[in-house]
Structure 1
Amino acid sequence: MPAEPAVPAAPAVPADPAGAIRASDADRDRIADILREALAEGRLDAEEHSDRIDAVYRAKTVGELEPIVRDLPAGASDARPPRRQPASYTYGPELPDGPTENLVAVFSSSTRKGRWRVGGRTQAFSLFGSIEIDLTEAMFGQRLTVINATSIFGNVEVRVPENISLRGSGTGIFGNFEVDTLEAADPEAPVVVVNGYSVFGNVEAKPKRGKRIADLHDRLRKHLGR
């Protein structure tokens, strides 16, 4: 009885190359926007939202981002018209925009505080120096503000109003990296994300009790006569 012809093996399906692409800031911002919508709609509670946001800013590739929103309606933020922001808000677009601000302290100190319009991204680098970033009276030009902090034998301190969201992810190597995670009651409140690392140094981000973003807005309205 003649042998049956061998059936050629099916070609191996290559892994999706798109998933291996390094994630950009825009990719992370897109996922963060989907999570924000899910929190506002009650699909996620505050703890789940915080956990997933942390995963977003730790993700290195597009493939790591996709599972974070796999169980959410990813197109929701694009399908509906933009939500109108109440007039009391002093910040604007959802995503970081404008140029990156650089703060450098090498055997010196650098301070950014007072009434100023904070940009979407700030790079803070301290080498045997000290950097203070005080956002308690800042005017947010966008909803998401990202601060990348590096401290080597130095110190970087970030202070924010107590009624915004504060998140972060980093590493301390023979040093301290500490972010006091904070979730605002208002899902539309500004979000400050502090990422980075310290080597024999200190990176610290905390809310400043008694300082609220609404306080600044009230003062601005009085100043403008509104």
Structure 2
Amino acid sequence: MTSELPEMRASDAERERVAERLRDAVAEGRLDMAEFQERLDLAYQARTYGELVPLVRDLPEMVAPAGAVEDGGWRARIGRPATSKGAFAFWSGFGRRGKWCVARDFTAVVLQGGGDIDLREADFEDREIVIRCFAVMGGIQVVVPPDLHVEVTGFGFMGGFDDRGAGGGTPGSPRVRVTGFALMGGVDVRRKERKAARKQLRK
């Protein structure tokens, strides 16, 4: 990004490019979460180049690996019709795995049961996704790929809401926020490689 015309109006695409650099920086440990959130808010509020440039001046330029797809392949997976808007389990379990499309607002509830939400092969109805998890005397596991942007804001009461899977994604990645609560139960958000990537590593 150039600062030669600091008063020129910034576009939505330019604000998003800065946001992607900030997400990469927090994922790499260059920024802590407080710095990241502060800069991200300023990026989306910026009106000119001059307001955007200082937010990434101390960060390295993003360099894509040779042969990499510019958006990481995300473009083809965003904007599809949702195939599931929620899940419920009572003394039982549910699973959302494989090739499915998560709604922009997805709600999962378990009562003395269990649930699995796997986003590794999923498509996304929108670029911004909210997954609400409510676990009462039960558990929900949310599995996300390493290149997905994930925020975790849920809490537990006499239970746990694990945020180990939170972190930045690659350029073009959807933003997924996992929220809700666990009462005498647990919600676990963790990152796992896609099956194809694991097979490749084994080879």
Interval containing the TM-score (normalised by the shorter chain): 0.5 to 0.7
Paired with 2:100 and 2:90, the residues of 1 have a C-alpha distance of 24
Q: Does residue 69 in structure 1 map to residue 52 in structure 2?
A: no
Gapped regions of structure 1 (runs ≥ 5): 1-32, 56-66, 77-84, 216-226
- Could you tell me which amino acid in structure 1 is paired with residue 41 of structure 2? V
User: CA 1:148/1:163 → structure 2, altered by over 3 Å: closer, same or farther?
Assistant: same
- Deviation, 1:35, is 7.5
Paired with 2:117 and 2:137, the residues of 1 have a C-alpha distance of 18
The aligned length equals 160
Q: Does residue 183 in structure 1 map to residue 186 in structure 2?
A: no
Q: Does residue 109 in structure 1 map to residue 93 in structure 2?
A: yes
- Deviation, 1:165, is 1.5
User: CA 1:174/1:41 → structure 2, altered by over 3 Å: closer, same or farther?
Assistant: closer
Q: Name 1:91's counterpart in structure 2.
A: 77
Gapped regions of structure 2 (runs ≥ 5): 1-12, 49-69, 198-203
Kept in 1: contact 2:163–2:188 (CA 8 A):
yes
TM-score, L = length of structure 1: 0.57
Work out which structure has the larger RCO, using CA pairs closer than 8 Å and 6 or more positions apart in sequence. Answer: 2
Q: Name 1:195's counterpart in structure 2.
A: 179
Which of 121, 130, 144 is 1:137 aligned to?
A: 121
Paired with 2:18 and 2:110, the residues of 1 have a C-alpha distance of 37
Kept in 2: contact 1:35–1:69 (CA 8 A):
no
Kept in 1: contact 2:87–2:109 (CA 8 A):
yes
Paired with 1:74 and 1:44, the residues of 2 have a C-alpha distance of 19
Report the RMSD for the aligned CA atoms in angstroms. Answer: 3.7
Paired with 2:94 and 2:37, the residues of 1 have a C-alpha distance of 28
Paired with 1:179 and 1:42, the residues of 2 have a C-alpha distance of 19
Kept in 1: contact 2:95–2:116 (CA 8 A):
yes
TM-score, L = length of structure 2: 0.63
- Could you tell me which amino acid in structure 1 is paired with residue 119 of structure 2? L
- Could you tell me which amino acid in structure 1 is paired with residue 121 of structure 2? E
**Structure 1 residue ranges (4+ consecutive) displaced by more than 4 angstroms after TM superposition:** 33-37, 41-45, 47-50, 52-55, 96-100
Kept in 1: contact 2:24–2:168 (CA 8 A):
no
Q: Name 2:53's counterpart in structure 1.
A: none
Which of 11, 19, 22 is 1:39 aligned to?
A: 19
- Deviation, 1:114, is 1.3
- Deviation, 1:203, is 0.5
Once the two structures are superposed, the pairs formed by residues 163-182 of structure 1 within 5 Å of their partners are 163-180=147-164, 181-182=166-167
Q: Does residue 154 in structure 1 map to residue 138 in structure 2?
A: yes
Once the two structures are superposed, the pairs formed by residues 198-209 of structure 1 within 5 Å of their partners are 198-208=182-192
Kindly name which structure, 1 or 2, has the bigger radius of gyration based on alpha carbons. Answer: 1
- Deviation, 1:141, is 3.1
Paired with 1:152 and 1:118, the residues of 2 have a C-alpha distance of 23
